A and B are shown apart, each in its own frame.
Chain A
Amino acid sequence: MSGALACGRHPSTITSQPDAVIEIAGLVKRYGSFIAVDSVDLTVIRNEIFGILGPNGAGKTTTLEMVEGLRRPDSGTIRVAGIDVVANPTAVKRVIGVQLQTTALFDYLTAWELIELFAALCGGDTSRRRVDELVSMVALEEKSGSHVNQLSGGQRQRLSIALSIVNDPEVLFLDEPTTGLDPQARRNLWDLIRELRDAGKTVVMTTHYMEEAEALCDRVAVMDRGRIIAVDTPRSLIQSLGESATIRARIDGDVDASLIAALPGALGAEFIGGQLTVHTEDVPATLMALLLFAEERRMRLENLASERATLEDVFLAFTGRSLRE
């Protein structure tokens, strides 16, 4: 524990927005000399899917756990649905639903029994009708009598989401809900998360999949090394890059990516397993230079293509590094 005192009783540091359901200001968490979360300010609006996007170790989970009242910040203020989380970490648990990154649950209980148990623990409705309703909401009717270890990864995540909504919470926190799932299971989960938003809930989720943030989130905070580097809708973030785009090509043989990154208009370049990826803010200039570069070295560029920018490029533009490094 560092010596810094939590200063959670200074509401003046929070600028209240009418529709804000979560307001975070100056949030800091240190582990020894390592600063896991560095002066984070965030506001989440009621009834949106808010994504925190960043690579592993960016501080997403630590931030989430402080907002959920599971970790005590070194400094900063957090307000969830009007509750001061730092001063009152227990009260907040009644109005939020939480899905943790690890989905381990009690062995020897069925999915149905787990939902009933968590409903009781969270002060929710434990009637048979309500539990059945939750089971069908996450499409686990056929597996309601199965133990956790008999469920697939996707089914387990859906059960885990069912457990997080047993108390009909205002705000739902999902920590990397789709990690490790196959594409079909991931899409099913996206649909479920959209349904929850449409049912009036606010969803805060972390992810390190940029396509997930782009497809699912209404707004995204891009996080890196404990800091929030940008917050906006995925579309605005991408548009902020201007004419930014990605050029891709396959190359036989070896090539020094740093030479290509230095070409006119290029923002960065990677060469992995014969696949060249160049991020650029000026497609014609970079493309022209790349063709000359290849010509001089007698390299063949196969499957040459250019794509519009993605959140991946946003991350690269802000940090100078790729999201998946």
Chain B
Amino acid sequence: MKPLGYMLRANLKMSFRNRTALFWNLAFPLIFILLFGFLFRGGDISLRVGVAGHDASDIAGSIVADMQAAEGFDATIGSAHDELRALQDGDRNVVVVFDALSDERVRASVYWDESDPQFGQIALSAVRQYLLEANVAFSEDGGPIDIDVQAIQATGIEYIDFLVPGILAMSLMNSGMIGLASAFVTYREKGILRRIRATPFPLSSFITARILSQLVISVAQAVVLVSVGILAVGLTVRGNLLNVLVMVIIGSLGFLSLGFVISAFARNQETADSLANGISFPMLFLSGVFFPIDAAPGWLQPIMRIMPLRYLVDGLRNLMVRDGTLPEQWLNILVMLATGVVGFLLAVRFFRWESSAS
């Protein structure tokens, strides 16, 4: 344990003394968050909700009255026909149409615009959440509103709440994959791996120390990004921070493993950099870091489904923006763990001590 501890401490010292890496790991994502944060400042998104059928029954009337008073909704009352037209024209984010099923029950049909990249899904979730809460308010055991409850998103979501988990996932990918690949290729190119090999310190411990130090950096990134988000640009985290931390570590492991694969195949620093960028750049735009995945055209969806980053973005977003639980993220966790295991096996199979064959 003692040599491992020394190696870990040395790795951390080196990481924090490397200003360039520090910039890309911390300053760069922070700039993103601050930039977007101030661009959308005060943009507490007032969702434009169209409401129809408020006069269908007394219950519908009282719900609509509450909605009009609710914060975060900019409710407009009109006929179903007019409101749906307004939705199609982009003047509404979501439309709710009430029908009376009986004196005691109403049906709420929620319409939303799938092509609205920024707010369509958010508005849908917000309205659903609102109706669900209204139901509970009416009665503990099943309220009077008939709605189809699926994924629930909290109300009052700002773009920054949506963006920060994406940026966090991006920086975990960059520091993990690019950072690790370039470090190992440099070690090999400069003969440092050979020097380590000439000591009794086993390679497995050397790699473990590197993984542990990268995880410390990942957690530091998460803490800094989320703190700055909360303090400077009004980020709201609704989920449990410990769950977020678990997802951060699982995601980092996945991308560290991809970094190892790159370092095993890349002959030199240049190849490692272009491989890492070649993998990370498309992922950045195909994983819903900046905009919801549903906004992408249908033919892109299958491609986006195979991007590991997408699952980390989804997991972090579900845990931060919604009050998601870890078991609910099983798919995202499974994909990141599988990426980690497959990558690690590949890296071990193709590992080389030296740049030249010998």
A102-B200 contact given A120-B6, A121-B7, A126-B6, CB 8 Å threshold: no
Is A104's CB within 8 Å of the partner chain B? yes
- Residues from chain A with Cβ under 8 Å of B196 in the complex: 121
A121-B17 contact, Cβ under 8 Å, with A71-B358, A100-B194, A104-B191: no
Segment from A106-114, A217-225, A245-253, A300-308 that makes contact with B: A106-114
Q: Give the residues in chain A near B200, CB-CB below 8 Å.
A: 90, 93-94, 121-123
CB within 8 A of B195: which of A100, A107, A123?
Answer: A100
Chain B residues closer than 8 Å to A90, beta-carbon distance: 200, 202
How does the 8 Å CB contact mask read for A65-101 relative to B, with 1 for contact and 0 for none?
0001011000000000000000000100110001010
- Nearest B residue to A89, CB-CB: B197
Q: A118 contacts the other chain (Cβ, under 8 Å)? A: yes
Contacts of A104 on B, CB cut-off 8 Å? 190-192, 195
Chain A min CB distance to B73 (Å): 54
B350 on the A face (CB < 8 A):
no
Q: Is A105 an interface residue (CB 8 A)?
A: yes
Contacts A108-B17, A123-B3 given; indicate if A93 touches B10 (C-beta within 8 A): no
Q: How far is the CB of A236 from chain B (nearest CB, A)?
A: 33
Shortest A103–chain B CB gap in Å is 8
What is the chain B residue whose CB lies nearest that of A62?
B358
A117 and B201 alpha carbons, distance in the complex (Å): 11
Q: Is the CB of A116 closer than 8 A to any CB of chain B?
A: yes
User: For A90, A100, A116, A120, which residue has the most chain B Cβ atoms within 10 angstroms?
Assistant: A120
Residue of A with least CB distance to B206: A121
**Nearest Cβ on chain A to B207's Cβ, whole angstroms:** 14
Residue B199 at the chain A interface, CB threshold 8 Å: yes
Judge whether A70 and B192 touch: CB under 8 Å. no
Contacts of B191 in A (CB 8 A): 100, 102, 104
Q: Write the nearest CB–CB distance from B192 to chain A, whole angstroms.
A: 6
B13 contacts A by Cβ under 8 Å: yes
C-alpha gap A68/B358 in the complex (Å): 16
B199-243 CB mask vs A (1 if < 8 Å, else 0) is: 111100000000000000000000000000000000000000000
Q: Which residues of A contact B192 (CB under 8 A)?
A: 104-106
Check if A117 sits within 8 Å of B190, measured CB to CB.
Answer: no
**Cα-based distance from A39 to B192 in the complex (angstroms):** 30
List, in ascending order, chain B residues with CB within 8 A of A71's CB. 358
A31 vs B18: C-alpha distance when bound (angstroms): 39
Within 8 A of A (CB), among B1-42: 2-3, 5-7, 10, 13-14, 17-18
Given contacts A93-B200, A104-B192, whether A109 and B6 have CB atoms under 8 Å apart is no
Which B residues are in CB contact (< 8 Å) with A113?
10, 13
B149 contacts the other chain (CB 8 A):
no
- Assuming A107-B14, A108-B17, A113-B10, is B199 touching A122 (CB within 8 A)? yes
A70 touches B6 (CB 8 A): no
Instruction: Indicate if the CB atoms of B10 and A109 lie closer than 8 Å.
Output: yes
A93: chain B residues at CB < 8 Å are 198-200
User: Which residue on B lies nearest to A122, using beta carbons?
Assistant: B199
Contact A105-B195, Cβ < 8 Å, known A90-B200, A94-B200, A121-B3: yes
Contact of B194 among A31, A94, A102, A122 (CB under 8 A): A102
Do B14 and A122 touch across chains, with their CB atoms under 8 A apart?
A: no
Q: Are A116 and B6 in contact (CB under 8 A)?
A: yes
A106 and B197 CA atoms in complex are apart in Å by 14
Please indicate the chain A residues that have their CB under 8 angstroms from the CB of B14 in the complex: 106-109
- Assembled-state Cα–Cα distance A31/B357 (Å): 10
- Choose one: A100, A121, A126; the contact of B201 (CB below 8 Å): A121
The residue among B3, B5, B10, B195 with the most chain A CB atoms within 10 A of its own CB is B195
Q: Which residues of B contact A123 (CB under 8 A)?
A: 3, 200
Residues of B within 8 A of A122 (CB): 199-201
Q: How far is the CA of A70 from the CA of B200 in the complex (A)?
A: 11
> Which of chain B's residues have a CB closer than 8 A to the CB of A120?
2-3, 5-7
Question: Whole-angstrom distance from the CB of B287 to the nearest CB of chain A?
Answer: 32
Q: Which 8 A-B pairs have the closest CB atoms?
A: A120-B6, A104-B190, A102-B191, A121-B201, A108-B17, A98-B198, A108-B14, A93-B200
Binding site for B on A (CB under 8 A): 31, 68, 70-71, 90, 93-94, 98, 100, 102, 104-109, 113, 116-118, 120-123, 126
A-B contact pairs, 29 of them (CB 8 A): A70-B198, A71-B358, A93-B199, A93-B200, A94-B200, A98-B198, A100-B195, A104-B191, A104-B195, A105-B195, A106-B10, A107-B14, A108-B13, A108-B14, A113-B10, A116-B6, A117-B10, A120-B2, A120-B3, A120-B5, A120-B7, A121-B6, A121-B7, A121-B196, A121-B199, A121-B200, A122-B201, A123-B200, A126-B6
Q: Which residues of B contact A (CB under 8 A)?
A: 2-3, 5-7, 10, 13-14, 17-18, 190-192, 194-202, 358
